[in-house]
Structure 1
Amino acid sequence: MTGGANNAMESRRTTVRDMRRSNRSVILTSIYRSGPLSRFELVRETSLSAASVSNLVGELLEEGVVEEAGSVESDGGRPRVLLRVAPGFASVAGAEVGETRVRVELFDLAMQVLATVEYPIESPTPEPSLVVDRVLQGLAEVTAQAGVAPAQVLGLGVAVAGIVEGPADAVVHAQTLGWDAVPLGAMLQAGTTVPVQVDNGANTLGQAEMWFGAGRGAEHAVIALVGSGVGSALVANGVSYRGARSSAGEWGHTTIAYGGRQCRCGSSGCLEAYAGAEGVLDRFRQANRGKAAPGADEESAFSALLDLTGSSKVAAQVIDETIGYLGAGFANLVNLFNPERIVLGGWAGIAIGERYLPQLREATARHALRQPFAQVSIELCELGQDAVALGAATLPVLRLLREGGARRPDTLAAR
């Protein structure tokens, strides 16, 4: 056989493998995102033939990626068997590198928590090596708590602040942390055999809410994260929008007041300097003649500040202004992106939204154009403060779905 014929045959084999992987991915993603589903429903949802669905589902069942989950009655025929991704097929880990702590959680594939640990971070600008040590320590601890071997962990997703070029072999640019081109992905991967992926915390929050929370069903959405800092995840046509080099969504560093307050990023007038918890608490301290809100840490101080609004005119004014700044920031998102939904999350965002969501909607309406505002709903996130770590853990799940259920990318190619 000539070299040309060999090349043509190998090309056809590659094409068949790629198509098979793609079809498995479509089926597995449908089951994971919309399941449990029957084979009949999979044919309708994926537009694959009944024979293809039957064959590929058979493979996934045999490999243990998918399992039967009961049955439903059909019209005049036998009950239809429902299928779901097997929760025990593997575990996934998610880590959130926050302003004051590192949180690491282990999940099964149904995203049920198996184990959780937290470690404090004392410095607002921690050394990358300290963060790496905390994350890897947490991974070892949660797997030990759950009795899960490292080989059973599909991957570790890590959520951090700043611009992340990744998610594999990720390089992190985080001015607020004092990090400049930190090879965080490589540093983490050097310390574990578990595959590591890194992403921005707002993006992982966004993925969690879009998959499991308040963003479900939306094709055009913004997930806003308000913690010590401020960020966002953008979703267009059902797909995360990252920009040219993954820095899209840095909403907190859009200018809201020309020549305004100094921001942690080094610029002035950023939304984060007015609406992030650190900026809010600083604004209160300055307006309160140098007296800070009581609390052992930023979260407790922010909660105390909200409680003070009933008895302190200064606290009430600062929070009222904060709602106004957030409303103006939301209006910018409405006018720029025309989303159908904005979801407010992050620990400070949840604290504000639980008390003042109607006022925030009103503040947004005052600054937004009428037509796009009429088309958007502003909702509070559904997954709570732990959604960032949960979203980080979906990074290895997403890779599993894309690879059609293969634990490692080359598994299917070898078959």
Structure 2
Amino acid sequence: MHRRLTVRDLRAGNRARVLRALYFDQPRSRQELAGATGLSQASVSNVVAELIADGVVVEAGQVDSDGGRPRVLLRVDPAHAAVVGVDVGETHVLVEVFDLTLQRLAEATFPMEPDVHSVDDVARRVLEGLDRCLAASGVGDVLGVGIGVPGQVERGRVYAQTVGWHGVALEQLLRTGTDLPLFLDNGANTLGQAEVWFGAGRGTGDAVVALIGSGVGASVITGGVLYRGSSGGAGEWGHTTVALDGRPCRCGAHGCLEAYIGASAVVDRYRAVKSDVPAEQEAALAALVADGSRAARDVLAETARYAGLGIANLINLFNPSQVILGGWAGLLLGARILDDVRAQASRHALHRPFEQASITLCELGPESVALGAATLPVAEFLAAGGVRHRTPSPVV
């Protein structure tokens, strides 16, 4: 049986509708919010009064109306609370503090060796970055800490085969140093949410946001909702097979897409044909992109060929309106080879779905995994109409 909605449920739903409409398009007047939400002006006025009383919404000046009194504009108060976003990447841990409207207040970066990920070291860096950034920003009230990680998250445990994590209790380790609400998700998913909220995918109902860093992943948005699969493991695009019995992948299989377009794989190919390549991975990839030699062009052409094949597979599987390429390596490579990637995708994708899909670069830059992670506590806050329900829970 369906539970009958109460007046309290309806009021909470109205708060969520108004707050979400204001958050993504502000400042707005009460009249504009009524039009955007479909609620009566009386309902909007009641909700806005509650949100102002709770300190979530503030007035933001006035705008002239046609023949009537000036309309008061409203906005979400950036200072109502802060949020934290963390990117547990394969070459660094990045911690950033944002205000409620996701303007950056402070950040701290901790370099890490690729493929060397002690979960204890990661937890220590996250907690150190959290302490450092909260002190630097001077914020007191924090909604929560969003954390983008490599691999799949189940009940606070992380399964990231490529870095040797199988059910590591990252959330439990972080609990030793903070009692703030924690939100863990795959880094490709947090990147995807950032781009759909604020970047190239804004307003898109069906898109795939593809992340290329040291590893490779994807966030699949269908009908405006992130597709997670049965246990949250969907989107492992990097471990789709593109060459039977092909190159060895870090996951232990052979022929994975990651073994051809992941930054580690591309840099290894470059080092095989070029001497004096920088030791640091990001510097090495930047050198490849800037290198005009025939050897470098061959490496980039092969990378474009496999990236285009992988994107064609995404187009054939999901029929998205957009494929958005991001991640620090994806943005570096995309600046040089995006046209070639599109051409290769057109060779392998079905004609009609390819015609309907744009292939573009992310707009939010290489640090958008952390920004996307910060949207996790904000999303819960908006869905609850600005009411906080979450308290730290024991990790099983």
TM-score bracket, normalised by the shorter chain, equals over 0.9
Measure, in 2, the Cα distance between the counterparts of 1:104 and 1:394.
14
3-state SS, counterpart of residue 297 of structure 2? helix
Answer yes or no: is the 8 Å Cα contact 2:181–2:390 preserved in 1: no
For residues 310-355 of structure 1, the C-alpha deviation after alignment (integer angstroms, 9 at most, x for no partner) is 12x2211011010010000110011110000111100111011112
Which residue, out of 139, 152, 167, partners 2:130?
139
Q: 401-410 vs 360-369, which deviates more?
A: 401-410
Q: Which residue of 1 aligns with 2:359?
A: 378
Residue in 2 that maps onto 1:111: 102
Per the alignment, residue 274 of structure 1 pairs with: 260
SS in 2 for 1:257: coil
Aligned length: 389
* Deviation digits for residues 20-57 of structure 1 (CA, Å, limit 9, x no counterpart): 22221111111111222211121122122221111011
Aligned residue for 1:225?
211
SS at match of 2:204: coil
- Equivalent position to 1:256, from 236, 242, 245: 242
Partner of residue 161, structure 1: 150
Aligned residue identity for 1:219: G
Paired residue for 2:71?
80
AA aligned to 1:263 is C
For residues 296 and 58 of structure 1, the distance between their equivalents in structure 2, rounded to whole angstroms, comes to 58
One-letter code of the match for 1:164? V
Alpha-carbon separation, structure 2, partners of 1:292 and 1:50? 69
Question: In the alignment, which residue of structure 1 is the partner of 2:21?
Answer: 30
Q: 2 CA distance for matches of 1:334 and 1:203?
A: 18
Q: Which residue does the alignment assign to 1:413?
A: none
Match of 1:177 among 141, 148, 163: 163
2:233 counterpart of 1:247: yes
Give the CA deviation at 1:71. Answer: 2.7
Correspondence list, 1:13-412, <5 A: 15-122=6-113, 124-149=115-140, 152-165=141-154, 169-286=155-272, 288=273, 294-308=277-291, 310-311=292-293, 313-409=294-390
**Residue type of the partner of 1:253?**
H
Residue 394 of structure 2 corresponds to none
Q: Distance in 2 between matches of 1:206 and 1:235?
A: 8
Give the 3-state SS of the residue equivalent to 2:125 in structure 1: helix
Q: Is the 8 A contact 1:281 1:292 kept in 2?
A: no
C-alpha separation between the residues in 1 aligned to 2:131 and 2:321?
41
Residue of structure 2 in register with 1:3 after alignment: none
Larger mean Cα displacement after TM superposition, 36-45 or 317-326: 36-45
Deviations 1:46-78 (A, max 9, x none): 122221111011010111101122233323222
What is the percentage of aligned positions where both structures have the same residue? 55
Distance 1:387 1:180 in 2: 26
Name the amino acid aligned to 2:288: L
Q: Secondary structure at the match of 2:278?
A: coil
| Unaligned stretches of 5+ residues in structure 2 | 392-396
TM-score, normalising length from structure 2?
0.95
8 Å CA contact 1:293, 1:304 repeated in 2: no
Of 75-84 and 208-217, more deviation after overlay is shown by: 75-84
Say if 1:95 and 1:159, in contact at 8 Å, map to a contact too.
yes
- Residue 271 of structure 2 aligns with an amino acid whose one-letter code is R
Task: Determine if contact 1:228/1:277 at 8 Å carries over to the other structure.
Answer: yes
Structure 1: distance between partners of 2:243 and 2:276: 25
* Rounded Cα–Cα distance in structure 1 between residues aligned with 2:220 and 2:28: 29
| CA contact 2:300–2:337 (8 Å) conserved in 1 | no
